[in-house]
Structure 1
Amino acid sequence: MAMERSTAATRIVTLPNLVSTSRVALGFGFLVADAVPVRFALIAIASLTDVLDGWLARRTHAASRIGALVDPVADRFFALCVVVGYVAGGSLSAWQALALMFRDVMSIVGWFVARNVSWLRPITFKARLLGKAVTALQLATFLVVLFAPAWTDAMVWFVFLVGAAATIDYTLMLWRERVTEPR
């Protein structure tokens, strides 16, 4: 029994999961930092960890269900911290914040729907190309806010449109995976 718990604990505390959860600390760091070079470094490190955690999980055969949950939660937490920091500092408006986080809000709504609608089969949500594109575009937009603020509106709209497409993509996947009655 103790051996089983130890094995389960080591599956949670893996190098890829630690790399993923580092984005939580980076998010808090962004909220307290206001110097452009520091904010740039935090965004760059968060971007690097987003690539590194998946690579490490595959390379070390440490991919797990908990890791598949920790990674997107850490991504969303970091993005939320950056958006809150930018809104608080006046670099983003409320509508821009909502547009940047649209896909994330819809993902949470979708998760609750998938968990609570009886005729939907429980499915494992997996990262999809459009979802990854939204995350990459969010990170790029965070850099645009720092270094090319005149392009912020265009990037926000682009993130929103790709986020809407990702939301449709995830919704269609959920619909295709629903439980169907035998004929």
Structure 2
Amino acid sequence: MPQYRLADLGLLPNVLSALRLPLAAVFPFVVDDVRAALAVLFAAALTDVLDGWLARRRGQLTAVGAVVDPIADKVFAVTVVVTLLYTRRMPAWAPLALLSREILEAPLLAWVLVSPRFRGARRAGARANVPGKLATCVQFVAVVTAITAPHLVEGALVASACVGTLAGASYWTREIERARRLAGGSPRGT
């Protein structure tokens, strides 16, 4: 069982992660000001890059950070997408394009979590790979396009869906192979 310590919230990497929450609250109010919206978006992206890097570099990987970071990521992302949908800067199908990777990964995650064969794989945890990082970059470009050039957003969303699908397939391939090695056998069955 991981140890959650309140004091860990004060560590710089965790503070950076938590900063995405007020940035999410501000975004809907600045979306009509392109410069302000981009400033909030880039500030959030910077905190997302720096929090993990600093945590690893300083040896400050914590259970609290492992919870705060993904929650802050999701809250910020959902706020941005809902705001862009509400302001009609993105079409209604945009969430499917932006979430193509996550949609493909969800069944894999469920399979690994419930299958006794993959206990070792669950403990090892998943790490980002190049296709996943590329998909994140293309998602970011699609959001920036929605803010700066909404008339071009559909092309950026199609690119996001394509790269996200490739990243999802890459995760499947990598995680099945990793689970097979850790579980000592074939991933077929339970």
Moved more, 141-150 or 100-109: 100-109
> TM-score w.r.t. structure 2 length?
0.80
> Aligned pair 1:19/2:16, yes or no?
yes
Paired residue for 1:94? 92
2:114 partner letter: N
Moved more, 28-37 or 77-86: 28-37
> TM-score w.r.t. structure 1 length?
0.82
Paired residue for 1:170? 171
- Alpha-carbon distance between aligned partners in 2 of 1:105 and 1:21, rounded to the nearest angstrom: 25
SS of the residue aligned with 1:177?
helix
- Alpha-carbon distance between aligned partners in 2 of 1:22 and 1:149, rounded to the nearest angstrom: 27
Residues 118-143 of structure 1, C-alpha deviations (whole Å, 9 max, x = no match): 32232301122222222222222211
- Alpha-carbon distance between aligned partners in 2 of 1:181 and 1:84, rounded to the nearest angstrom: 43
Instruction: Tell me how large the CA RMSD over aligned residues is.
Output: 2.4
Output aligned runs, 1:41-56, within 5 Å: 41-56=39-54
Contact 1:120 1:177 in 2 (8 A): no
Query: When the two structures are aligned, how many residues end up with a matched partner?
Result: 177
1:51 offset after TM fit, Å? 1.7
- Alpha-carbon distance between aligned partners in 1 of 2:24 and 2:115, rounded to the nearest angstrom: 33
Percent of residue pairs identical? 29
1:69 offset after TM fit, Å? 4.9
Unmatched segments (≥5 aa) in structure 2: none
- Change in 2 beyond 3 A, CA 1:40/1:181: closer
- Alpha-carbon distance between aligned partners in 2 of 1:108 and 1:17, rounded to the nearest angstrom: 26
Unmatched segments (≥5 aa) in structure 1: none
